[in-house]
Chains A and B, each alone.
Chain A
Amino acid sequence: MNDVVIRFSNVEKSFPLYRRPGIKTMLLNPRYFWTLKERFVAIKDISFEVYRGETFGIVGKNGAGKSTILGLIAGVLVPDRGRVEVRGKVVPLLELGAGFHHELNAVENIMLNGVLLGASRRKMKALTGEILEFAGLKEFAHQPIRTFSTGMLARLGFSIAVHIKPEILLVDEILAVGDSEFQKKCLEKISELQKSNVTILLVSHDAKQIERFCKRAMLIEDKHIKLLGEAKEVIKAYAG
């Protein structure tokens, strides 16, 4: 009945541990070279499924492994063990200014950012007007974005990501940007995407946002899934 678009099966992921002793120590004492191979485990035994069109929440403390999960979904990280299957075009909502160049103007940055996120040049040309309109930056279209405020940059980034029709949208704690008017617009846009069957992964340590948008969620604690189920239950476990 439900279409699985993301499936994690017993996924484990580790990262290199950097406590480099420095080249001199290493050369004098070659056994230090082994420390270069040491890794720490970020997430372990992670198995879950996300269905098409649902908004799935991931909560947990800083460093619990939430961003690692997003990285695996985006395909920038490769699991050490287990399998990650993803079906559909993944678009991450980038952090402020990533994929932009501050010397270029808004129109040029829309092209750059959109193409990096997987859209074609033709599509981006067609969407430019709409993106500027939504971000409320029409008058600033030809200003270099280094003159933009943080809020303006956030609006532009959000506007690009949601306009290129993602199938899976990854949102990592970014909804709290822009002024309250734009925030309202963002939230409306997210509801609209939900209605049009876009799968959304919402990572947050803000329980309210998870509660508002997600039916299902999971709590990551100490590398593992502590609880997976109804968003309300998960948030209760997270808060308490």
Chain B
Amino acid sequence: MNLLRNFDLILTLTLKEIKVKYRSSALGYLWSLLYPLLLALLFFFALRVVLKIQVEDFVVFLLSGLFSWQWFLNSLSASTVSIISNASLVKKVKFPYFMLPMSNVLNDCFHFIASLPVLFAFAIFHSKPPSIVWLAGTLFIVLQLITTLGISLILSSLNPFFRDLERLTQIGLNMVFYATPIIYPFEMIPENFRPIFYLNPMFPVVESWHRLILKSDVELWLIGLSVIHSAFWLVIGSYIFSRFSKRFAEVL
């Protein structure tokens, strides 16, 4: 009974996010493609044409990281303010509030999945034959979903108490972007710096996508690292959220 109600709630909230995103702009779905594509173009020009970085199939390389990053970035930006922007509701109605940030993460997950055909099309166009191994991508999606959800729970539950967090998140996300091998390959990082990258929750997922699309290869240690990240962030996130959510109505 309770489970059914929770399912109804998360379904309704996520559908709302998806509908709203499509409806409020003329291009709708195209925006979730256009933005990463334009970014890829920009980085291609700056890094390949100007700085002459040597990476095979650089466009496919960029896209296979950028789509996944966009999901992470958009869900965290949206979920950080999810409690505050629903203040009038949270102050009056009791429901499982974690569904507010969760619906943001699921919304962008949906858009990510919707953009995968484009990524695959680019890969095939650059003569990467479609492979059965690509199905491993479903696992990466699940792992990224859990990791992102965990972090979104932390940010959304702390933001009503420390509103500076919104700004910090924006700056932090910008920094993490450059600290993730998205616009440069992991192999170019000097050996002694690499362990620092393992602390980045997005590193194993993005790197897994690179290997999957470019080499049809699945690295077990990357998946293992990603499992550790997703478990870690989900546990911490649930703990912080359950502690702070009791006081939402007091501070909003």
Q: Which residues of A contact B (CB under 8 A)?
A: 15-16, 23, 71, 74-78, 90, 92, 94-95, 97-99, 101, 103-104, 108, 111-112, 115-118, 120-121, 144
Contact = CB atoms under 8 A, between A and B. Distances in A.
B26 interface: no
Contacts of A77: 249-250
B20 A103 contact: yes
A16 B248 CA distance: 11
A136 B133 CA distance: 56
Contacts of B19: 103-104, 108
B188 interface: no
A121 B6 CA distance: 11
Interface string B17-31: 001100110000000
Tell me whether chain B's interface is mostly helix, strand or loop, or mixed.
Answer: helix
B141 interface: no
22 contacts: A16-B251, A71-B249, A76-B94, A77-B249, A78-B246, A78-B247, A92-B93, A94-B89, A94-B92, A94-B93, A98-B92, A99-B93, A101-B20, A104-B20, A112-B13, A112-B16, A115-B8, A115-B9, A116-B95, A118-B95, A120-B4, A121-B8
Given A74-B94, A101-B20, A104-B19, A116 B9 contact: yes
B165 interface: no
A9 to B, nearest CB: 20
A101 B246 contact: no
B167 interface: no
Contacts of A16: 250-251
A25 to B, nearest CB: 15
Interface in B215-251: 246-251
B5 A120 contact: yes
Contacts of B92: 71, 74, 76, 92, 94-95, 98
A23 B164 CA distance: 11
A103 B24 contact: yes
B88 A120 contact: no
A71 B249 CA distance: 8
A15 B20 contact: no
A104 B13 CA distance: 12
A27 B11 CA distance: 45
Contacts of B4: 120
B48 interface: no
Best-buried of B16, B88, B93, B164 by chain A (most CB within 10 Å): B93
Contacts of A92: 92-93
B74 interface: no
B91 interface: yes
Contacts of B59: none
Best-buried of A78, A112, A116, A117 by chain B (most CB within 10 Å): A116
Nearest to A170: B92
Interface in B1-56: 4-5, 8-9, 11-13, 16, 19-20, 23-24
Nearest to B12: A115
B179 interface: no
B176 interface: no
Contacts of B23: 103-104, 144
Best-buried of A98, A101, A111 by chain B (most CB within 10 Å): A98
B101 to A, nearest CB: 15
A74 to B, nearest CB: 6
Contacts of B251: 16
Contacts of A112: 12-13, 16
Contacts of B164: 23
A53 B193 CA distance: 69
B12 A76 contact: no
A75 B90 CA distance: 11
A219 to B, nearest CB: 23
B170 to A, nearest CB: 18
Contact of B89 (A90, A99, A103, A104): A99
A33 B224 CA distance: 41
| 6 residue pairs, one from A and one from B, having the closest CB atoms | A98-B88, A76-B249, A75-B94, A115-B12, A92-B92, A121-B8
